[in-house]
Amino acid sequence: MFDFREYLRMEMFPHMLCPGCGHGIVLGALLRAIHSLKLTKDEIVVVSGIGCSSRLAGYVDFNTLHTTHGRPLAFATGIKLARPELTVIVITGDGDGLSIGGNHLIHAARRNVGLTCLLLNNQIYGMTGGQFAPTTQIGRVSTTSPKGQYETPFDSCKLAEAAGASFVARGITYEPSALEKLIVAAIENKGFSFLEVASDCPEFFGRFNKLGNPADQILMQKQNVVDVEAAAALPAERLRGKMLTGILHHEPRPEYGAVYAESVA
């Protein structure tokens, strides 16, 4: 019987995330995915940057590395090149991965380094008090956009795909079972796997935007997404303003570490 507690650093719990924070749901899905892949604790490295999402690395009993803001992918690339047999999972947030670490993201994707990048997108900088992030949707209120955000947000999946990631997918915390399967697929892909997870920040995003309590907010996710397979059959106007979930792009190509090893052999 699966018990997620065997993968946790129990002395660190309860974790520091706010009540209703979606990141904990992603953590649970990640542990179940790792369990179903039958990976041992020592085979896994979890690398994270700075931010609420990046705190997750501190709660899991694998090899973990909590790195500088925006740079987890750079550290993870080094780990993967030195120890290609390890499964390297990067947990980053939308601010960490797309703003300050945006350049690392596109180059890790371009090189197709064998990493799994989980980008937890809650549309806000939660840890520093709710400043808008590069993924905050237009019109959303934050501490730095009191009259509503007016900058066009990133579609991080399109960004990763265009940059060359061999696996791109999007999950939501409302569908934890589907999310678990996406994480499994992302880890199984040999090259750079990019998985965006739409998460909630009830404290700084939900509260400022009057989205109700954490439960209201997570139920609301359902209205904003369409599965990519279902979307193929739907007319364009039904898809307006919706996010696509599922595996958006999967095109295996040579992994960076393997190519590098060959070139120096």
Partner 1 sequence: MEPNGTQNVLIVGVGGQGVILASDILGVVCMNRGYQVKKSEVHGMAKRGGVVYSHVRYGAQVLSPTIEPGTSDVLLAFEPAEALRWSKYVKPGGTIIVNSRKRIPPAACQDRRMDAPTRYPQGIEQALRGQVGDVRQFDAEELAVEIGDHRMCNTVLLGALSSVCEFELQDWLGAIAASVKPKTVERNQKAFLAGRNAQFAAMRDSLPSEKCEMSRSVTCLDAPEIAIHDSWCKGCEICVVVCPQACLKMNERNRAEVVKAEACIRCMLCEWMCPDLAVRVQ
Residues that bind partner 1 (CB under 8 A): 1, 3-4, 8, 13-25, 27-29, 32, 127-130, 173-174, 176-177, 180, 202, 204, 213-215, 218-219
Q: How far is the CB of 49 from partner 1 (least distance, A)?
A: 18
Residue 11 or 262: which CB sits closer to partner 1?
A: 11
| Minimum CB distance to partner 1, residue 231 (Å) | 24
Nearer to partner 1, 15 or 66 (CB): 15
Nearer to partner 1, 18 or 244 (CB): 18
- Sign of the Cα torsion 222, 153, 184, 127 reads negative
Of 125 and 194, the one with the shorter C-beta distance to partner 1 is 125
- Least distance in Å: CB of 2 to partner 1? 10
Please say which residue, 20 or 246, places its beta carbon nearer to partner 1: 20
Measured from the CB of residue 42, what is the shortest distance to partner 1 in angstroms?
Answer: 22
In the complex, minimum distance from the CB of residue 206 to partner 1, in angstroms, rounded to a whole number: 11
d(CA 195, CA 187) in angstroms, rounded, equals 10
SS3 letters across the chain: CCCHHHHECHHHCCCCCCCCCCHHHHHHHHHHHHHHCCCCHHHEEEEECCCCHHHHHHHECCEEEECCCCCHHHHHHHHHHHCCCCEEEEEEEHHHHHHHCHHHHHHHHHHCCCEEEEEEECCEECCCCCEECCCCCCCCCECCECCCCCCCCCCHHHHHHHHCCCEEEEEECCCHHHHHHHHHHHHHCCCCEEEEEECCCHHHHHCCCCCCCHHHHHHHHHHHEEEHHHHCCCCHHHHCCCEEEEEEEECCCCCHHHHHHHHHC
Nearest approach, Cβ of 218 to partner 1 (angstroms)?
A: 6
Instruction: Give the nearer residue to partner 1 in terms of CB position, either 64 or 112.
Output: 64
